[in-house]
């Protein structure tokens, strides 16, 4: 099982990323902070999904580019990241 998952919800295709390179970089950054990488999930989504998550979990009624859920424990970095490609594009 990979510690890092790359998923989509409401968007296709998956963004063109170099997952192995990003995973090495994430591990290197964690190591510089004396941390280890645990389960991480990156969910690339659209604005309808990000606002649904924002309303459901944060009681916010607006768009945002990323929402993170931190499940880290001790030295292990773990969490879920919802990234709205729509909002990232409009912010760029």
Report, as ranges of residue numbers, the positions in the chain whose pLDDT lies below 50. Answer: 1
Say what the pLDDT of residue 26 is.
97
Say what the pLDDT of residue 2 is.
62
Say what the pLDDT of residue 1 is.
46
pTM: 0.93
Q: How many CA atoms lie less than 13 Å away from 48 in the CB half-sphere?
A: 3
Angle, CA 36 vertex, CA 69 and CA 8 arms, to 5° = 40
Say what the pLDDT of residue 10 is.
95
The full set of domains in the chain, from first to last, is 4-91 (3.40.390.30)
């Amino acid at each position: 099982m990979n510690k890092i998952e790359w998923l989509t919800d409401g968007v296709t295709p998956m963004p063109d990323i170099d997952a192995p390179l990003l995973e090495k970089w994430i591990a290197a950054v964690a190591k510089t902070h004396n941390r280890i990488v645990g389960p991480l999930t990156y969910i690339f989504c659209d604005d309808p999904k990000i606002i649904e998550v924002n309303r459901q979990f944060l009681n916010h009624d607006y768009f945002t580019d990323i929402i993170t859920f931190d499940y880290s424990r001790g030295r292990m970095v773990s969490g879920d990241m919802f990234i709205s490609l729509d909002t990232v594009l409009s912010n760029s």
